[in-house]
Amino acid sequence: MLKVNDINVYYGSIHAVKGISFDVNKGEIVTLIGANGAGKSTILNSVAGLLKTRTGSIEFEGQSILGTAPHLIVSKGLAMCPEGRRIFLQMSVEENLEMGGYTRKNQEAEQSLINVYDRFPRLKERRKQQAGTLSGGEQQMLAIGRALMSRPSLLMLDEPSMGLAPILVDQIFAIIKELNESGTTILLVEQNARMALSVADRGYVLETGRIVSSASASVLLNDDAVRKAYLGG
């Protein structure tokens, strides 16, 4: 479904992503794990079209999306929920969601809104509330809900558990699992490797811009090196 081949991404002279290749098959949850600064967000932003890659290729559903404008990538069914809960703080919950349906026709967006509210009743309760006044967990739900408004076939999530209390982390991961079960393919970026690997089918381990290992999630969970570096022994 998504095929990333040998991409290199630079910030000026900083070589942040060094020849990375990976793929995501339909129906999977694939996770990229790695420490802070490993290049995880850079990879997602490149796939979403927010950053330019210098070399390599990115294919989605068999078509190259390299150099395609971000809004066109979204309309192809590839959505990203960016790191750090970037919601529109001044807008209401519902307006945030409506912005998420931007690439969809009006009726489709209305149906999406109903679906998102079904999945997140909490957001429905607070639909009039200004997004900036939501709690951290609710903001994360809003960010995910907003990404779902475009009805992506592949959803990329950048550190959805960041800064959340453990109970909320559990909730968010339960939601991710549910989303996947109802047919959305997921590319999940996490520093919380244990949680990520517990829901994922496969994982890639990143270190300073390179992939150092890749295997099924259960294998990585039991890998000595991975346990030492990312799972606390």
Partner 1 sequence: MKKVKKLRKSTRSSLITYGLVILFFVIVQVMMITGNLSSSLRGQLVPIAAYIVMAVSLNLTVGILGELSLGHAGFMSIGAFAGVIVSTSLENQIANAPLRLAVSMLVGGILAAVVGVIVGVPALRLRGDYLAIVTLAFGEIIKNVINILYVGYDSSGLSLSLKSANALGLEEGGKVVLNGPMGAVGISRISTVTAGFVLIIVTLFIVLNLMHSRSGRAIMAVRDNRIAAESVGISITKYKLMAFVISAALAGLAGSLYALNFSTVVAKKFDFNTSILVLVFVVLGGIGNIRGSIIAAAVLTVLPELLRQFNDYRMLLYAIILILVMIATNNEKIKNLINRVTLMLDLKTKNDPKKGGAA
Ligand X SMILES: Nc1ncnc2c1ncn2[C@@H]1O[C@H](COP(=O)(O)OP(=O)(O)O)[C@@H](O)[C@H]1O
Closest by Cα among 169, 213, 218 to 33: 213
Choices 36-44, 126-134, 145-153, 169-177; region in contact with Mg ion by CB under 5 A: 36-44
Sign of CA dihedral 194, 134, 89, 98: positive
Closest by Cα among 95, 7, 67 to 43: 7
The correct pick among 27, 37, 84, 163 for binding ligand X (CB under 6 A) is 37
Return the one option of Mg ion, partner 1, ligand X, none that residue 146 interacts with (CB less than 5 to 8 A, by type): partner 1
Two structure tokens written together for 138: 């609710």
Nearer to ligand X (CB atom), residue 16 or residue 97: 16
First to last CA, the chain: 34
Asked if 46 is part of the footprint of ligand X (rule: CB under 6 A), the reply reads no
Two structure tokens written together for 36: 């802070």
The correct pick among 2, 20, 29, 38 for binding ligand X (CB under 6 A) is 38
Choices 57-65, 142-150, 208-216, 218-226; region in contact with partner 1 by CB under 8 A: 142-150
Alpha-helix residue ranges (DSSP H) falling in the chain: 40-47, 70-75, 93-100, 106-119, 121-125, 136-148, 166-181, 193-199, 217-222, 224-230
Beta bridge partners of 134: none
**Can you tell me the distance from the alpha carbon of 165 to that of 167, in angstroms, rounded to the nearest whole number?**
6
91-120: contacts with partner 1 (CB under 8 A): 91, 94-95, 98-100, 102-103
89-148: contacts with ligand X (CB under 6 A): none
Nearer to ligand X (CB atom), residue 101 or residue 209: 209
Asked if 53 is part of the footprint of ligand X (rule: CB under 6 A), the reply reads no
Closest CB 127 distance from partner 1, rounded Å = 8
Closest CB 40 distance from Mg ion, rounded Å = 5
Closest by Cα among 46, 59, 47 to 11: 46
Site string for partner 1, 55-94 (x = CB under 8 A): --------------xxx-xxx---xxxx---xxxxxx--x
Q: Is 168 helix (H, G, I), strand (E, B) or coil?
A: helix
Instruction: Give the footprint of partner 1 on this chain (CB under 8 A).
Output: 48, 50, 69-71, 73-75, 79-82, 86-91, 94-95, 98-100, 102-103, 127-128, 146-147, 149-150
Instruction: Give the footprint of Mg ion on this chain (CB under 5 A).
Output: 41, 83
